[in-house]
Chains A and B, each alone.
Chain A
């Protein structure tokens, strides 16, 4: 159930570059305290959508309202309500972490004691207080990512927009970033999070919009989206021997809805795979096939994306 207070409302966003429509009639809303994921492969239109939401890019059509203010090039109230964490490391390498924060803080109207207090606060949030005086060119990739987020949080926005913040980050820093976003969401901040990593969307987001080729093709909670592909599990059996015969035999098991083969693998769509798996393996053995690998995939956002687009998220 969507939260009562709407922080971001995007309606009919459309952007065309030449003859290519990068974003086509995309609409979504984010409530206070909600983390909304925009999930899609590279080139799907996520960054273009964010650029229109933030007022970085002119829209060909559509409206954006942030915290009650319409977004535009001089919509300062709307801009002040947004904390942007761009995909690029938008930092000045020849300035220290503190100087980077001070510069962007001043652009948002923070001054003197308030600016110093906010800088200290966000440095604590991203755990960079002890490295604040160093030039950012000396930071590791993960530290730069964290500072990138800190800048977005500095002016206490109502909506934090993170554009693929974990790209190129080591696993440890990635986990730290995800934990930070979880804490911020739990703290009541509205978050718009774009990613092409299904696991991140599943972990962080209250609702997810799936975007592909500029279209928002589905939207909802994880449960809503999984329901789109039904409750079937996907099973892959690595098989040696009589592959086709085994597939036919397995296809006769009650609950197996589909059995196809490709290059020594039997692909199954099954209801309640865990319960049927012993019977499936027995049928394979009876058909003189040797099963050397079993993969069971319960429905997830990857499966949803595959179901909706016919391709994998990383394609």
Chain B
């Protein structure tokens, strides 16, 4: 232990004298979180909901059912819904007061029940293309759900509106289906839903920059070898494993300290992020720092010099951060990206912080902690194996 502590203490002393360590570990994540979060301060997913109007000219069961689905989405805060007639709907769209209007035309139920082709109509707002596409996707998904019969969705697009990109429809439909199905209505209620973007970006930046902060200690092993000090360390009466452990411990302390400072700083105005249960935050943070140390060791272990190691690990940190939702809620992604995010510790860490922020307990985030520790174990074991060679031929 003497060697571990001595090496870690020396590393920490060096890092604390390095101003860039403060910038990477504290200033940059705090500034970015504040800048990005400030644009949406006080907003929640409810504020970001689409504002739709529903026109039911049908009067039958099918039209009423669609109205009920939309009303349920309104209740969940996914959309804001107002039920109006066609004239009012057109007026609201023209006034850019709503995202879009969905019309169940007269005879809709009868035509569906008779197995005839029928049409749901979307009155699109040319000022809000995305919202109009979402409305169309909702209509399509309902059409798919209520009947296997071929049904078309006609979008009343203004001439100024860019035509809907067919390629984006499947994605939008998938999202609409997710939201309107009972199973995924539950997802809207999942812990973490409703956490504001400012809070999300606080978690995201803390995790994102953590992978840069821990680089200092782990990759300094390569610097020790280049500078010749590794020979002195190995010649000293301490175990070689103590050198590795000392480096890892130094990185661990830096990583934990960095996140701890960010927790405090982002809890204060203007971000005022609610991090929730502190025991849970501590558990997630420890697991996250271990995973970061392990992944950086894994990447650095394959590098031939410190420049290469720094480049590799920065690239990995950026890719993992983007994929894992450090810059935007990963729930906004779909398909492959969404599934790939599960392979990043960032996804689990940020998800855990969101869950705690929404009122979850430490026990609630234990699964996420376990998965992140698994990342740490696998990556760290390989990285440790690779780095051992540095101490064998200093």
Contacts and interface: CB of A to CB of B under 8 A. Distances in A.
A1 interface: no
Contacts of B6: 103, 106-107
Interface in A62-112: 73-74, 76-77, 79-80, 82, 84, 86-92, 94-95, 99, 103-104, 106-109
A90 B18 contact: no
Interface of B is mostly: helix
Interface in B1-32: 2-3, 6-7, 10, 13-14, 17-18
Contacts, number: 73
Contacts of B232: 84, 86, 90, 104, 151
A55 B229 contact: no
B46 to A, nearest CB: 51
Contact of A92 (B10, B239, B393, B394): B10
Contact of B235 (A55, A91, A94): A55
B238 interface: yes
A28 B14 CA distance: 40
A104 B18 contact: no
B121 to A, nearest CB: 70
Contacts of A76: 237-238
B2 A106 contact: yes
Q: How large is the interface on A (under 10, 10 to 19, 20 to 34, 35 or more residues)?
A: 20 to 34
Among A74, A106, A151: residue with most chain B CB under 10 A: A106
B392 A58 contact: yes
A88 B227 contact: yes
Contacts of A74: 239
Contacts of B10: 92, 95, 103
Nearest to B231: A86
28 contacts: A51-B231, A55-B235, A56-B235, A73-B240, A76-B237, A76-B238, A84-B232, A84-B235, A87-B228, A88-B228, A88-B231, A89-B227, A90-B228, A90-B231, A91-B227, A91-B229, A92-B227, A92-B229, A95-B14, A99-B13, A103-B10, A107-B2, A107-B6, A107-B7, A107-B233, A108-B236, A108-B237, A109-B2
Given A84-B235, A107-B236, 7 more contacts: A84-B231, A89-B227, A90-B227, A90-B231, A94-B18, A103-B10, A106-B6
Interface of B: 2-3, 6-7, 10, 13-14, 17-18, 227-229, 231-240, 392-394
